[in-house]
């Protein structure tokens, strides 16, 4: 892990050499600074999840509405590419910060805790509840994201038959593009992808349940009286996102019967 952290820290090392950037980079290199950056990038990714779920829920509206939504995204051209690049940078930054803060925490800890108490008592998970599973669930979400890009961005999953979507797009029902509605349905009804997505979304729910509350606390949004409410909001948000995406898998299964 330490070697990976050193590799991910190379951009910061070069950035620190620029005039005026050294103090800022050094501040962000501290444990507190990295936790603040991780909270900001994490909440930014939460905003993306909300927007992404809202767009995907158009699947329930039908083929025409969803394909119009997909065509609108394609029409953005360079703006869409810039947004995707920015999203990728935020995701990589969040991942790098998570690894870095974990490595710093382990280095600072001379011996393992005899008792690890979780702040997320709702989850009956070993090794510290949801908080102790952040790296594991994050890794599962990363695998899920890679599979999702292969399935629907690159459309090169060998287990998915894209021919109906390609044929429908060529016929003009999707404006000359692949019929995204049919492509999504094909992906969500293929056995490998369906189970990978279910596992990934459950991991996402667990990750967000602790991550959102932790990010709010890191940014100073914490009070003894209101913390139970913040915890409830985090849980509702996390599982609202996860169940929202899972409902799309259930929809695809239902319409394909």
* Domains of the chain, earliest start first: 2-9+25-107+129-255 (1.20.1300)
| CA–CA dist 145, 196 (Å, integer) | 10
pLDDT digits (tens, 9 = 90+) for 99-114: 888 877 776 665 454 4
Per-residue pLDDT, averaged over 231-240, amounts to 96
Mean pLDDT of the chain: 84
What pLDDT, on the 0 to 100 scale, is given for residue 76? 92
| CA–CA dist 70, 59 (Å, integer) | 11
Decide which of 188 and 12 is more confident.
188
Instruction: Judge whether residue 119 has pLDDT over 50.
Output: no
Decide which of 121 and 100 is more confident.
100
Instruction: Judge whether residue 122 has pLDDT over 50.
Output: no
What pLDDT, on the 0 to 100 scale, is given for residue 22? 66
The token duo for 111 is 């011996």
- The CA radius of gyration of the chain, in Å to the nearest whole number, is 21
What pLDDT, on the 0 to 100 scale, is given for residue 139? 93
Per-residue pLDDT, averaged over 203-230, amounts to 93
The token duo for 104 is 């710093």
Instruction: Judge whether residue 124 has pLDDT over 60.
Output: no
Percentage with pLDDT > 90 across the chain: 62
Decide which of 197 and 18 is more confident.
197
**pTM for the model:** 0.83
Q: Is the dihedral of CA 74, 79, 82, 87 positive or negative?
A: negative
Instruction: Judge whether residue 237 has pLDDT over 70.
Output: yes
| CA–CA dist 162, 102 (Å, integer) | 41
pLDDT digits (tens, 9 = 90+) for 166-175: 998 887 654 4
Percentage with pLDDT > 70 across the chain: 79
Q: Which of 89-103, 107-121, 132-146, 186-200 has the lowest mean pLDDT?
A: 107-121
Instruction: Judge whether residue 16 has pLDDT over 70.
Output: no
* Burial category of 98 from C-beta neighbours within 10 Å (exposed 0-12, middle 13-18, buried 19 and up): buried
Three-state DSSP at 156 gives coil
pLDDT digits (tens, 9 = 90+) for 32-83: 888 999 999 999 999 999 999 999 999 999 999 999 999 999 899 999 999 9
What pLDDT, on the 0 to 100 scale, is given for residue 67? 94
């Amino acid at each position: 892990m330490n070697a990976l952290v050193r590799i991910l820290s190379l951009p910061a090392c070069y950035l620190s050499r620029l005039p005026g950037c050294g103090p800022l980079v050094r501040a962000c290199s501290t444990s507190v600074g990295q936790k603040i950056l991780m909270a900001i990038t994490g909440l930014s990714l939460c905003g993306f999840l909300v927007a992404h779920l809202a767009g995907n829920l158009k699947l329930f509206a039908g083929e025409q509405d969803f394909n119009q939504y997909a065509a609108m995204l394609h029409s953005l051209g360079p703006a869409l590419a810039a947004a995707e690049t920015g999203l990728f940078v935020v995701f990589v930054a969040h991942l790098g910060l998570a690894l870095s803060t974990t490595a710093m925490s382990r280095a600072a800890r001379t011996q393992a805790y005899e008792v690890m108490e979780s702040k997320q008592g709702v989850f009956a998970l070993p090794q510290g509840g949801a908080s102790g599973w952040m790296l594991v669930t994050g890794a599962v979400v990363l695998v899920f994201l890679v599979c999702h890009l292969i399935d629907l961005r690159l459309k090169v999953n060998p287990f998915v038959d894209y021919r109906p979507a390609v044929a429908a797009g060529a016929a003009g029902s999707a404006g000359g593009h692949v019929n995204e509605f049919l492509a999504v349905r094909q992906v969500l009804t293929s056995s490998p992808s369906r189970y990978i997505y279910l596992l990934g979304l459950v991991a996402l729910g667990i990750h967000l349940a602790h991550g959102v509350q932790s990010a709010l606390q890191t940014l100073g949004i914490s009070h003894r009286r209101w913390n139970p409410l913040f915890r409830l909001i985090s849980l509702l948000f996390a599982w609202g996102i996860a169940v929202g995406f899972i409902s799309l898998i259930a929809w695809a299964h239902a319409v394909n019967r």
